[in-house]
Amino acid sequence: MKLLFVADPLESFNVKKDSTFVMMKEAQRRGYAIFACEAKDLMWQRGARVSTHVREISLTGQKAPWFAENAAVGERARIALADFAAVIMRTDPPFDSEYFYATHLLEQAEREGARVFNRPAALRNHPEKLAILEFPQFIAPTLVTRDPAELKRFHAEQGDVILKPLDGMGGAGIFRVAADGMNLGSIVETLNARGAHTVMVQRYVPEIVKGDKRILVIDGKPVPFVLARIPQGNEIRGNLAAGGLGVAQPISARDREIAEHIGPILAKRGLLLVGLDVIGDSLTEINVTSPTCFQEITDQSGFDVARAFVDALEAALA
């Protein structure tokens, strides 16, 4: 069978920690033919189906080059998405206009018979920071607004807060403002652009010092180990991209409670793979575009996350 990964450029992969890479590796181990493209290559024309330029690759088992391209197929070969057993959407945020358009093309491919994971409509309907609003029983005090006065009011009410843009990833653009309000005005101006941009502000959760936990949920079921991403030095962000230290640990009772409530709901909507972010007892994000931490959890715990994911993919295709 043929699998197509819609991903970032293959040459940009850091194979030491890339989750898409280990998905490919496990799929190849099972005998799948691996194809890749970028979202910019998707195309639809009246009278034809959604198609894309593809690269058929095989993993070499080496650090560099980590893949070899099938010259017989050629980089410019164009194949309809419906001709693959499955299409796996793994393009990283930001969720900008081009990502939005890509989900519409992928949804058209579904109408033509393609099987896309995660489902395009579900990707659109679950923006990663705003998706938590559906589950207020699990989140810390939170405000979402474009009104700079409301942002300042919330800070005065809560005392110690985190402000973040809605379209960031990897911890980019996240600020903490403590009770003294130092630089609050400047930070609000930077993120909010005088009312032009919507901002999320949440009460600071001090348990961040123990880690921002990534809970992977596959087909509605939580992986039994989480990755606590622990801030280093004077940093408040635990994101691995911001220098956080990743430590795998067994899932806690509270983390399992959150995952077992949310997971089945999202799975029914077509989200085969979800990454929940939890600090202390509070849910902070629901990641659906390209959840990561497969390798870190597998290497430290022995639980093969990629194998569990491909098992779930095969079950969904059966």
What per-residue confidence (pLDDT) applies to 116? 98
Q: Mean pLDDT, to the nearest integer, of 151-161? A: 97
Q: Mean pLDDT, to the nearest integer, of 201-228? A: 97
- Which of 219, 129, 222, 119 is CA-nearest to residue 170? 129
Give a yes or no: residue 126 inside a domain. no
Residue 263, pLDDT above cutoff 70 = yes
Residue 75, pLDDT above cutoff 60 = no
Task: Please tell me whether residue 19 adopts helix, strand or coil conformation.
Answer: helix
85 and 102 share one domain: yes
Q: 59 or 128: whose pLDDT is higher?
A: 59
Tens of pLDDT along 249-258? 999 999 999 9
Residue 39, pLDDT above cutoff 80 = yes
Domain around 28: 2-121
Give a yes or no: residue 135 inside a domain. no
Q: 93 or 124: whose pLDDT is higher?
A: 124
Q: What is residue 13's DSSP assignment?
A: -
Q: Which residues are catalytic?
A: 129, 164, 214, 229, 237, 277, 285, 287
pLDDT-derived band at 73, boundaries 50, 70, 90: low
CA angle 207, 209, 212 (to 5 degrees): 75
The angle that helices 19-29 and 305-317 make with each other, rounded to 10 degrees, is 60
Does this model's pTM top 0.85? My answer is: yes
Lowest mean pLDDT among 22-26, 72-76, 197-201, 221-225: 72-76
What per-residue confidence (pLDDT) applies to 210? 94
Q: Mean pLDDT, to the nearest integer, of 88-101? A: 91
Give a yes or no: residue 131 inside a domain. no
Give a yes or no: residue 305 inside a domain. yes
The domain tally of the chain equals 3
Q: What is residue 118's DSSP assignment?
A: S
Residue 93, pLDDT above cutoff 90 = no
Q: What is the mean pLDDT of the chain?
A: 94
Q: Mean pLDDT, to the nearest integer, of 15-31? A: 97
Give a yes or no: residue 259 inside a domain. yes
What residue has token string 């992969």?
13
Q: How far apart are CA 181 and CA 191, in angstroms?
A: 16
What per-residue confidence (pLDDT) applies to 243? 82
pLDDT-derived band at 239, boundaries 50, 70, 90: confident
Which region, left, alpha or beta, applies to residue 238 given φ > 0 means left and ψ of -120 to 50 means alpha? Answer: alpha
For the chain, state the CA radius of gyration: 20
Q: What is residue 244's DSSP assignment?
A: P
CATH number of the domain encompassing residue 189: 3.30.1490.20
Q: 167 or 67: whose pLDDT is higher?
A: 67
Q: 266 or 71: whose pLDDT is higher?
A: 266
Give a yes or no: residue 237 inside a domain. yes
215 and 171 share one domain: no
Q: Residues with Cβ < 8 Å from 251, sequence gap 6 or more?
A: 215, 222, 223, 224, 225, 226, 259
CATH number of the domain encompassing residue 18: 3.40.50.20
pLDDT-derived band at 156, boundaries 50, 70, 90: very high
117 and 13 share one domain: yes
Q: Mean pLDDT, to the nearest integer, of 194-211? A: 95
What per-residue confidence (pLDDT) applies to 96? 87
Residue 74, pLDDT above cutoff 60 = no
What per-residue confidence (pLDDT) applies to 78? 87
Q: Residues with Cβ < 8 Å from 233, sequence gap 6 or more?
A: 243
pLDDT-derived band at 284, boundaries 50, 70, 90: very high
* End position of a domain, from candidates 66, 87, 121: 121
Q: Could you tell me how far CA 306 lies from the centroid of its own chain?
A: 15
